[in-house]
Structure 1
Amino acid sequence: MKFQLVQNSDPGVIECIAGITDVRDSMELAYACSDADTDLLLIHAGALPSEFFQLPTGFAGEFVQRLVNFRLRTAAVFDPDGYYPERFREFLLEARRHPQFRAFDSQPDALAWLAASAVQSGAA
């Protein structure tokens, strides 16, 4: 899995850009956030396996639930022009309002939400 600390980000944000293959990778992301002393996570759609986009596999639900259980505030960036199955598009609509795992069309919007949510929680 490939992740890094977002440069020039205050508060700190861990960015996952590649290599999520299993729901248990959520634990590695939680460790990376803990090591960076942050609870803010940015995930790019390209880092997610194809099973994430097929809701009947259960991958998306279990993976997101684990991130929520680890108390990570996660912004996920999905290509607004990308092809996604209809059920997954419904999932994205709901995820645009979720308090801990939120879907975005762009990285700047995702980072702005993470920064604002950190301020609201008193983390910044």
Structure 2
Amino acid sequence: MADELRELAGATVLLCDPAGPPIATEADALDLIGAAFAGASVVAVPAGRLDPSFFALGTRFAGEVMQKFVNYRLRLAVVGDISAHLAASGALRALVAESNRHDQVWFVPDLAALDARLAATR
């Protein structure tokens, strides 16, 4: 599957292909943001596409990526099981909990959860 635009709960979401290239640099994140300008307000990135450095908060990569999405006023949804990363880092658990309390960056287990979360914001 290639990246595709899909409507979820009335929002246009860029669903990123799980088999797509890894997101390992800020430039990779900017490529997704550029692709979202085709009409998406949310970018759903499979957790498996994110470089492991995203989940190691000491690298600051997650913060850089998240800030890019905020700057461009796009929602970012990290979709998938990140439980192994959460088990290894209290700081990551705190970041995920805080992000999920707000409206810009979400960590969700699957697309059904993203759909429900988007529906709740309407």
Counterparts in 2 of 1:64 and 1:80: CA distance versus 1, 3 Å: closer
1:26 and 2:29 aligned: yes
Partner Cα distance (1:23, 1:3) in 2:
19
1:11 and 2:11 aligned: yes
Q: Please list, as runs of the form range in 1=range in 2, the aligned pairs for 1:37-56 lying within 5 A after superposition.
A: 37-56=39-58
Partner of 2:101: 97
SS in 2 for 1:71: coil
Q: Among the aligned pairs, what percent are the same residue? A: 31
SS in 1 for 2:26: coil
What is the RMSD computed on CA atoms of the aligned residues?
2.1
Q: TM-score, normalised by structure 1?
A: 0.78
Deviation at 1:105, TM superposition (A): 2.2
1:88 and 2:54 aligned: no
**Contact 1:74–1:114, Cα closer than 8 Å, also in 2:** no
Deviation at 1:44, TM superposition (A): 1.3
The CA deviation string for residues 12-57 of structure 1, in whole angstroms up to 9 with x for no partner, is: 210123421212222211111112x121111111010010010000
Q: Residue type matched to 1:28 in 2?
A: D
Counterparts in 2 of 1:111 and 1:50: CA distance versus 1, 3 Å: same
Unaligned runs of 5+ in 2: none
Unaligned runs of 5+ in 1: none
Q: How many residues align?
A: 115
